[in-house]
Amino acid sequence: EVQLVESGGVVVQPGGSLRLSCAASGFTFDDYTMHWVRQAPGKGLEWVSLISWDGGSTYYADSVKGRFTISRDNSKNSLYLQMNSLRTEDTALYYCAKATASGSLDYWGQGTLVTVSS
């Protein structure tokens, strides 16, 4: 059974930093591209970032480019999101998601809540 479990969400002040983690199991982690998607309270889905199976390619939404860094450790079946210079508008539930070979997102974690507030 595929499982994705996010962690690391906390309350942080504007300008602060945070690292989210996603522990994956139930599939061959290093075969798949992985994504972060976020959802602000009461709002829709917003794609954040993706990383290729080997970490060689990364892409970001303009809203986080230069502040967030996606990475993975295939030896630990883990995905990460380093978040710097956090803003109040980064407040959201952050999901990690597994991509299919064609790119749609077939498995999602339950999310970890990041609150940016003074």
Partner 1 sequence: EIVLTQSPGTLSLSPGERATLSCRASQSVSSSYLAWYQQKPGQAPRLLIYGASSRATGIPDRFSGSGSGTDFTLTISRLEPEDFAVYYCQQYGSSPITFGGGTKVEIK
Q: Which of 10, 14, 45, 85 is the binder for partner 1 (CB under 8 A)?
A: 45
Give the strand pairing for 11-12 and 112-116: parallel
Cβ-contact 78, 23 below 8 angstroms? yes
Write each residue from 54 to 73 as x if it is in contact with partner 1 (CB under 8 A), else as -, in one continuous string: -----xxxx-----------
In the bound state with partner 1, the residue whose beta carbon lies nearer, of 17 and 100, is 100
Taking the mean position of all CA atoms in its chain, how far away is CA 63? 14
Contact region with partner 1 (CB under 8 A), list: 7-15, 18-26, 78-86, 94-102 = 94-102
